Amino acid sequence: MILVFLGPPGCGKGTQSQFLKDTHGFCHLSTGDLLRTEVHSQSQLGLQIASTINNGLFVNDQIILDIIKKSLEQAETRDVLFDGFPRSLVQAKALDNVLDEQNLKIDCVVSFSIAEDALVDRITGRFNCVDCGRVYHEKNNKPQVEGICDTCGGKRFVSREDDSKESLEKRLKIYYESTYPLINYYKEKGLLIEIDSSQNLDNVKSQIVSVINRF
Ligand code: AMP
């Protein structure tokens, strides 16, 4: 199954992707995570894109497509979940082509809807495990044992540099300009399912599972 998660920064795509990866064995392809791995490796590409990400701007389409193609080739399953990609019509059309080349197609696009003011709280309270990247929130989604990552047992956590209020404003502006039109694009293709991601974590999980169960 090929699934796309669509929604503004902070809507919960990453957390729910992690959940589906753990429970349903999806290959989770998050362009944000893949780019951050590149930045941490301090490769030439990583150095080139670091300031773009920290400024809340979009990384160049060709870089994104190369990363996606490579990751798709390496994926061990055809149950793939795209998180944070596509982010524009150009990327959406490129994804259709990449999938077409492999005789694959998108089965469903889940659109996470949430009021804008809830996003600030979600983003500014967010932190990640340094070792595996798992996403937590200081109020709504803490590790089961304080200071220890549920997934890998790691003990070091960081907040993303681009998770500041200022960067969020920029990221939201770009989201509405470039990514929001994808809602109509996928609606017209009959692929869109909307979920209410302002609800608590377990309710959002149940909505996602009921979407998956339709396929
Ligand atoms: P995310 O983890 O999805 O919030 O992505 C973090 C940052 O990575 C974004 O603010 C962009 O700078 C960059 N990024 C992630 N995915 C894409 C994409 N599909 N196209 C362009 N830039 C991206």
Q: What is the pTM of this model?
A: 0.92
Whether residue 143 lies inside any domain: the answer is no
Range of the domain at 81: 2-116+166-212
pLDDT for residue 116: 85
Question: Which numbered atom of ligand 1 lies nearest the CA of 30?
Answer: 3
More confident residue, 195 or 161: 195
CA of 85 to the centre of ligand 1 (A): 8
Whether residue 138 lies inside any domain: the answer is no
52 CB near ligand 1 (under 6 Å): yes
Q: pLDDT tens digits for 120-158?
A: 888 888 899 999 888 899 988 999 999 999 999 999 999
pLDDT for residue 168: 86
Residue 50, domain CATH: 3.40.50.300
Whether residue 140 lies inside any domain: the answer is no
Whether residue 133 lies inside any domain: the answer is no
Q: Is the pLDDT of residue 108 over 90?
A: yes
50 C-beta neighbours (distance < 10 Å), count: 17
32 C-beta neighbours (distance < 10 Å), count: 19
Question: Is 149 labelled as part of a ligand binding site?
Answer: yes
Mean pLDDT of the chain: 93
Whether residue 129 lies inside any domain: the answer is no
* Closest among 205, 33, 214 to 129, alpha carbons compared: 33
87 CB near ligand 1 (under 6 Å): yes
Q: pLDDT band for 184, please (50, 70, 90 cuts).
A: very high
What total of structural domains would you count in the chain?
A: 1
Question: Is 156 labelled as part of a ligand binding site?
Answer: no
Whether residue 124 lies inside any domain: the answer is no
Question: Is 46 labelled as part of a ligand binding site?
Answer: no
Whether residue 9 lies inside any domain: the answer is yes
